[in-house]
Amino acid sequence: MPVQEREWLLSQLESELKAKKTTRSYTIAQAFSDGRVLLLTAIFFVALSAALGNIYWIPTFLKRLSGLPDRTVTLLMLVPALIGIAGMLANSWHADKKAERRLHAALPLFISGALYGLVILTGRSSNLTMVLLLLASGAYYAFNPVFWSIPTMMLCESAAAATFGLINSVGNLGGFAGPYLVGVLNDRTHSLTASFGLIALLYFAAASLILCLRIGDPLQHPQQNPETPTTLKLTPGRSD
């Protein structure tokens, strides 16, 4: 490679590395006191409250609505898993392609919340209700990989690692709160409608909080010097 081209490549890599370090220079203490990190923690708590309230109770929901045998209900639980695999792959790929995170993290939650809202409107129409419940359960999974890529866009490596622990530890309390609240509503109202409404509300709340985040573009390249060529024209000669 000619010396001029090699020097240009090295200068580009160095400028990108400097830009990366500038945007991610956080200590662990600063990360824990950062409002965006606290907001991410709240988002995960609310989203997980809805998701686990759904995951733990959906077999009961399906059983009560359809009266199907336990084995059939168990087989139906494969549907959200398959939807989740497809959703995670497609949403992550599209988020990388568009270099965007907030909307790609919020959209699965909005979809799940909207589907639960439709469940309330369908009433006791068991077939349609079951389809909506299964779709809502599967749509949530597309949120996770995009969400967990957000802290690394704001923080340095060590601070991001500590932040993962903070978000996950506090957020997993939603694994207790969500199922507990759904159980309380089922016992007190003797109806599934209130539980559906709670889960929909939590999904919408988490999605709305994500839209309040202010984060950078993970794939945004530094502005190029107008005098710097955007493409390299390779010329025959000796390689270095």
Concatenated DSSP letters of the chain: --HHHHHHHHHHHHHHHHHHHHHT---HHHHHH-HHHHHHHHHHHHHHHHHHHHHHHHHHHHHHHH---HHHHHHHTHHHHHHHHHHHHHHHHHHHHHT--HHHHHHHHHHHHHHHHHHHHHTT-HHHHHHHHHHHHHHGGGHHHHHTTSHHHHS-HHHHHHHHHHHHHHHTTHHHHHHHHHHHHHHHHSSSHHHHHHHHHHHHHHHHHHTT-----TTPPPPPPTTS-SS----SS---
Confidence at residue 161, expressed as pLDDT on a 0 to 100 scale: 77
Confidence at residue 199, expressed as pLDDT on a 0 to 100 scale: 94
**Domains defined along the chain, listed by start:** 33-210 (1.20.1250.20)
**pLDDT tens by residue, 15-29:** 765 555 444 455 666
What's the CA gap between 65 and 123, in Å, rounded?
Answer: 10
* Dihedral, 151, 157, 162, 167 alpha carbons, nearest 10: 10
Phi-psi region of 217 (alpha: psi -120 to 50; beta: other; left: phi over 0): beta
Handedness of CA 123, 51, 205, 141 (dihedral sign): negative
Confidence at residue 28, expressed as pLDDT on a 0 to 100 scale: 62
Confidence at residue 171, expressed as pLDDT on a 0 to 100 scale: 85
**pLDDT tens by residue, 26-67:** 566 666 777 888 899 999 999 999 999 998 888 888 888 888
pTM: 0.75
Return the minimum-mean-pLDDT range out of 19-33, 65-79, 147-161, 167-181: 19-33
Residue bearing the bigger pLDDT, 166 or 216 = 166
Confidence at residue 238, expressed as pLDDT on a 0 to 100 scale: 43
Return the minimum-mean-pLDDT range out of 72-86, 123-137, 138-152, 188-202: 123-137
For residues 2-17, average pLDDT: 74
Q: Token pair for residue 72?
A: 């059939």
Residue bearing the bigger pLDDT, 79 or 214 = 79
Return the minimum-mean-pLDDT range out of 107-116, 120-129, 131-140, 172-181: 120-129
Return the minimum-mean-pLDDT range out of 161-165, 179-183, 202-206, 231-235: 231-235
Please say if the pLDDT value at position 87 is more than 70: yes
